[in-house]
Amino acid sequence: MRPAFHFTAERGWINDPHGITVRDGTYHAFYQYVPDSTVWAPGCHWGHATGPDLLSLAPLPVAIAPGDGDDGIWTGSLVTGDDGEARIFYTSTTLPDLGIGRIRVATPRDDDWVSWEKGAVVVDAPADLDLVAFRDPFVVRDPDAWRMFVGAGAADGTAMALSYRSDDLDTWSYEGVALQRSKGVRDLVWLGALWECPQVIAIEGVHAMVSSVWDADVLHYAGYALGSYATGRFDARTWGRLTYGPSYYAPSFFRDTDGRPCVLFWMRGVEDIGAGWAGAHSVPYVLGVDGDRLTAAPHPDLERYRADPVVDGVVPGLAADVEWSASEGATLVVTSAGQPVVELRAGEGLLEARAGAQAWQMPFDGGDVRVVLDAQVVEISCASGVLGLTGAPAGDSLHVLAADATVHPLAR
């Protein structure tokens, strides 16, 4: 049940993708990794994989491991400085207080970015805020300086993205709170008590802050704010939810080979414990803005792996890319060996996905729906967001039953 087009570790646990970078036409993808375990543990490493796209990644040796003052190597980002040198900024955690991390830098020992050398701690949590969490640096180049955004949560339940400034990527100064929201606010969307992996990005002339929503050790979904950003401050004009279902978390922003704004998610629940691995990454998505809504569509790289559409809906394998023009009341059913894998139903204002005894919903205004199937992975996207879940194919082929659907098998 290992997916063919979703990255998984050969063995061990993976979660957050981060530091996704295109270099000389090759993608470098890093990720939180716990070798020799199928459950999360605080002693995370930075795993590393490369490939021509994010659907064909091959693992490399661990880039950064615990030790030398780090009990855990948690999420961060990778940038190339004005001097041409790459730098990873990561969350250094120490026991027993894992909530409050420190931001540390690492630089490559070789031109292939296989081996990395740890450097100094460059940022500590500000002392004037009553924080219970501080982690996940995201570094970007502004016209006037480098900016770093760090996720934080206050004891009173306020989620924050904190801003830091640097002229040289070596010395950082704290600028204050770039954006914040209380977990008690539920207008439009609830965004929890801590923003993990907050990322401020420019999309089609609009700025977005995209983050994971965390509260009381529960990982919820990915949310966002749309508005305007300048010199370390974000002015939100609207808020929204990007992901639905039980699987997606930890969105990681990157720009692809054509400079398009994209995102990759960690997918929870994708696993084969008997085979010794747990966790997967989604297919990549291209981000867009439609009015007050952030949109995500499967990356065009996926189309490279499409075979000709099947006329009877029967896929000779467990991977397919389905385009469905869904109207109200329409259904799409996927079976394997006569057993249900997932059923979609388009209703009035909602799209429901059911797998086994579980059902999940997302907003739906009608129109095109994309369904990516890959062994146990099911990814569903439309104009209002993305929904991820896991299914359980009973055989070695799929059967997609739906009117107005084009079914492309995926193959290498």
pLDDT digits (tens, 9 = 90+) for 112-168: 999 999 999 999 999 999 999 999 999 999 999 999 999 999 999 999 999 999 999
Quote the pLDDT of residue 20. Answer: 98
What is the pLDDT averaged over residues 328-353?
A: 97
Both 312 and 297 in one domain: the answer is no
68 and 116 belong to one structural domain = yes
At which residue do the structure tokens 């980002």 appear?
77
- The beta strand positions in 41-113, using DSSP E, are 45-51, 58-64, 72-80, 86-93, 102-108
pLDDT of residue 147: 98
Query: 218 with 152, same domain?
Result: yes
Same domain, 193 and 161: yes
Q: State the CATH number of the domain containing residue 63.
A: 2.115.10.20
Domain final residue, candidates 252, 280, 301: 301
Encoded tokens for 369: 């729906």
172 and 212 in a single domain? The answer is yes
Q: In what order do the strands lie in the sheet with 405-409?
A: 243-244, 385-390, 377-382, 367-374, 319-326, 405-409
**Do 20 and 7 meet the contact criterion of CB atoms below 8 Å apart?**
no
**Residue 311 CB contacts under 8 Å (≥ 6 apart), including other chains:** none
Same domain for 116 and 233?
yes
Q: Which residue bears the tokens 């062994």?
A: 375
Single residue among 258, 273, 301 that ends a domain in this structure: 301
Whether 313 maps to a domain, the answer reads yes
Last residue of a domain, one of 276, 301, 326: 301
**Tens of pLDDT, residues 342-399:** 999 999 999 999 999 999 999 999 999 999 999 999 999 999 999 999 999 999 999 9
Q: What is the C-alpha to C-alpha distance for residues 172 and 161, in angstroms, rounded to an integer?
A: 16
Residue 3 lies in a domain: no
326 and 195 within one domain: no
**Alpha carbons 261 and 368: distance in angstroms, whole number:** 21
> Same domain, yes or no, for 259 and 311?
no
Task: Let me know: does 85 contact 58? Beta carbons within 8 Å.
Answer: no
> Which pLDDT score is estimated for 28?
98
Whole-number mean pLDDT of the chain? Answer: 97
Sign of the Cα torsion 232, 237, 242, 245 reads: positive
If one counts the domains in the chain, the total is 2
In a domain, 166, yes or no: yes
Distance between CA atoms of 247 and 41, rounded to whole angstroms? Answer: 19
pLDDT for 384: 96
* CATH number for the domain that contains residue 350: 2.60.120.560
* In a shared domain, residues 198 and 323: no
Token digits of residue 393: 């194919």
Torsion, Cα of 185, 194, 288, 376 (10° steps): -110
User: Which sign, positive or negative, has the C-alpha torsion 246, 250, 256, 259?
Assistant: positive
5 part of a folded domain: no
Is 108 domain-assigned?
A: yes
289 and 384 within one domain? no
Residues in the chain: 412
pLDDT at 89: 98
Q: Is position 361 within any domain?
A: yes
| pLDDT tens for each residue of 29-81 | 999 999 999 999 999 999 999 999 999 999 999 999 999 999 999 999 999 99
Residue 1 lies in a domain: no
The string of pLDDT tens digits covering residues 221-280 is 999 999 999 999 999 999 999 999 999 999 999 999 999 999 999 999 999 999 999 999
In three-state secondary structure terms, 300 is helix
**Domain span at 396:** 306-409
Q: pLDDT-based confidence at 294, cuts 50/70/90?
A: very high
Structure-block tokens of residue 69: 């003052």
φ/ψ of residue 124, rounded to 5: -115, 160
Q: Say whether both 271 and 317 belong to one domain.
A: no
Does 191 share its domain with 320?
no
Closest CA to 70 of 41, 45, 49: 45
Give the model confidence (pLDDT) of 192-227 as tens digits. 999 999 999 999 999 999 999 999 999 999 999 999
* 6, part of any domain: no
Q: Which helix (H) or strand (E) holds 286?
A: strand 285-290
Q: What is the pLDDT of residue 83?
A: 93
Return d(Cα 361, Cα 369) in angstroms, integer: 14
Per-residue confidence (pLDDT) for residue 390, from 0 to 100: 98
